[in-house]
Amino acid sequence: MEKVWLGLGSNRGESSAILKAAVDELRALLSECRSSGLWRSRARYHEDQEDFFNMAVCGMTDLSPRGLLDKIHEIEARFGRDRSREIKKGPRTLDIDILLYGEKIITEPDLIIPHPGLAERKFALLPLLELDYDLLHPGLDISIQRLAAALPPQGIYPVNDRQYDEPYSE
């Protein structure tokens, strides 16, 4: 079993509901599955699109990195993602990235772990910090906390998810 950290994002459709449903599907793949709160972030790279909703998930898996990637692609497709028709880094119903797979470093044509954009993306780093404040980036041997602190503001903030307040409301 290996501990993995995944980043989830959506900016097309009912994004918060899509992310919550995707987490439910990931619970079938990952034991001891935990998820961060929901974050909202401005689109980066291809900026002419809606804001993204993001979160992170961690858990234990006995799937290989490639096996996990295949399962993730199946989940994305069930939520309407068609990689062959989308704009790279453009709008999508669901994006699930393998951010970290234990301390492994993998470089294959279509699978790079740690995720190559992790160190520059607060929308991935801040949700990770919720799950594991002392987490290290294995490729850089720098804490996730330090990486996030070194970045300029990127327009990401936590979303006040009403489900936390519902048990206490009248």
pLDDT along the chain (170 residues), means of 10: 97 93 96 95 80 95 97 95 77 93 94 95 95 94 95 90 49
Closest to 143 (Cα-Cα) out of 134, 132, 151, 156: 134
pTM reported for the whole predicted model: 0.91
**CA 142 – CA 77 distance, rounded (Å):** 34
Output the pLDDT for position 162.
52
User: 103 lies in a domain?
Assistant: yes
Report the domain count for the chain. 1
Owning domain of residue 17: 2-162
Provide the CATH number for the domain around residue 35. Answer: 3.30.70.560
